[in-house]
Amino acid sequence: MSLVDDTGLDPYDTGTLADSWREQPNSPAYCTELTLDELPAALAAADREHTE
C-alpha cells in the first residue's frame, strides 16, 4: 500500500479476488470519484446480478 500512498491516493483493501465483482462495470463503485468514506457503502450496495 505504500506505493499507493506515494502517489497521493488513499489505499483501501476491498477484499479478496473472489469479492472483486463488487468493483465491476455496473456496480456503484465502478469508475467513480467516491471518497474513502463513501466507498464502503458503494461496495456493500453492489448487486452481483447487475455486474458484468
* Angle formed at CA 11 by CA 3 and CA 36, multiple of 5 degrees: 150
- Residues (pLDDT < 50) of the chain are none
pLDDT at 9 (0 to 100): 81
pLDDT at 50 (0 to 100): 84
pLDDT at 2 (0 to 100): 78
37: cell is 468514506
Read off the pTM: 0.77
